[in-house]
């Protein structure tokens, strides 16, 4: 498996398995199938409600812990943010049944971001989170966090796919040593992604699917990606993207698909900010 080196030297697989929107009752089997297919990066979150199922799959897999890279995420915390962040982290760790996670991400750029980040820095210093980072941070918020804190985020996980390519975000992250990670790499099939004529035509030249072309495009941009599926055949197909390479011309054709606009929700939209900021998780 190809890896990327994070800014603290930790190696992270460039391709992993995400469990967003997989129901808890399906998650254990899905993760078990993904591990059997060769995935070693697992990405979950407190907000997904399936950390316990991920933990069971890890425990039952028999795979040595040091071979796995496990990510979970912190939801927006009420004041006092530092104390509640520690409590939320301990809850996630207990649900996963682990003594540490490899990456802990702040899921949303809202609430007392600095209090939350200070607490995350503490669990990082204690070795309970080998690396810490953020998700859904636009360049202005990311740079502000970098400039005003001790630890630079190791990762920023953001919506990234052929129709929203985040080039400016990517360049800023590279400049400051933050690893770009994609969520929604398949755009959840929007804009006819799986049957898109450009992606399909490129795929046929390599005997690959449109989905494999998208994953290869992300890998060649050095972007970590975490496709999800509950079907073992699709998991295997998504994993099979390291035996071909897109040409410069093919990369340019995909670049031309960028609309520069989210296909899901805008973190600058006041209504979305209010909704995300007010949402609380059941403990």
pTM of the model: 0.95
Assigned domain for 282 exists: no
Radius of gyration over alpha carbons of the chain, in Å?
A: 18
The enclosing domain of 224 has a CATH number of 3.20.20.100
Residue 119 pLDDT level (bands cut at 50, 70, 90) = very high
In angstroms, the Cα distances linking 227 to 121, 182, 231, 280 are 28, 9, 12, 26
User: Is the pLDDT confidence value at 283 over 70?
Assistant: no
The pLDDT value recorded for residue 280 is 83
Neighbouring CB atoms inside 10 A of 152's CB total: 16
- The per-residue pLDDT for range 2-22, each reduced to its tens digit, is 999 999 999 999 999 999 999
If one counts the domains in the chain, the total is 1
Residue 156 lies in a domain: yes
Where residue 269 falls among pLDDT bands split at 50, 70, 90?
confident
Q: How far apart are CA 257 and CA 280, in angstroms?
A: 36
The number of angstroms, rounded, from the C-alpha of 125 to the middle of its chain's C-alpha atoms is 22
Helix, strand or coil, per DSSP, at residue 70: strand
Residue 72 β-bridge partners: 104
* Structural domain includes residue 281: no
Which domain covers residue 188, as residue numbers?
Answer: 3-276
Answer yes or no: 48 catalytic: yes
Look at the chain and count its residues. Answer: 283
113 φ/ψ sector (left φ>0, alpha ψ -120 to 50, else beta)? alpha
Do 58 and 67 form a contact (C-beta atoms < 8 A)?
no
What is the tens place of the pLDDT at every residue in 225-238? 999 999 999 999 99
pLDDT score for 268:
86
Q: From the candidates 48, 104, 110, 114, which is the catalytic residue?
A: 48
Cα 143 from Cα 116, distance rounded (Å): 16
pLDDT tens digits for 156-195? 999 999 999 999 999 999 999 999 999 999 999 999 999 9
């Amino acid at each position: 498996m190809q890896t990327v080196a994070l800014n603290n030297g930790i190696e992270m697989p460039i391709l992993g398995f995400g469990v967003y929107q997989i129901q808890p009752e399906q998650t254990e089997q899905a993760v078990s199938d993904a591990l059997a297919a060769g995935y070693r990066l697992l990405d979950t979150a407190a907000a997904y409600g399936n950390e316990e199922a991920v933990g069971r799959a890890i425990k039952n897999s028999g795979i040595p812990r040091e071979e796995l890279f496990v990510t979970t995420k912190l939801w927006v915390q009420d004041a006092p943010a530092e104390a509640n962040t520690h409590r939320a982290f301990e809850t996630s760790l207990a649900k996963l049944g682990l003594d540490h996670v490899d990456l802990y991400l702040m899921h949303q750029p809202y609430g007392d971001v600095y209090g939350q980040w200070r607490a995350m820095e503490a669990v990082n210093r204690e070795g309970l989170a080998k690396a810490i980072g953020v998700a859904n941070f636009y360049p202005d918020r990311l740079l502000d966090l970098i400039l005003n804190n001790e630890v630079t985020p190791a990762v920023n996980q953001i919506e990234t796919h052929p129709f929203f390519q985040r080039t400016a975000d990517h360049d800023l992250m590279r400049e400051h040593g933050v690893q770009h990670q994609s969520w929604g790499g398949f755009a959840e099939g929007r804009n006819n992604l799986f049957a898109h004529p450009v992606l399909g035509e490129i795929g046929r030249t390599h005997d690959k699917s449109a989905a494999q072309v998208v994953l290869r495009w992300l890998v060649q941009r050095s972007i970590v990606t975490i496709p999800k599926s509950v079907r073992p055949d699709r998991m295997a197909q998504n994993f099979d993207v390291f035996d071909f390479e897109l040409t410069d011309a093919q990369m340019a054709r995909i670049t031309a698909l960028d609309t520069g606009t989210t296909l899901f929700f805008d973190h600058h939209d006041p209504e979305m900010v209010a909704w995300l900021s007010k949402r609380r998780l059941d403990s």
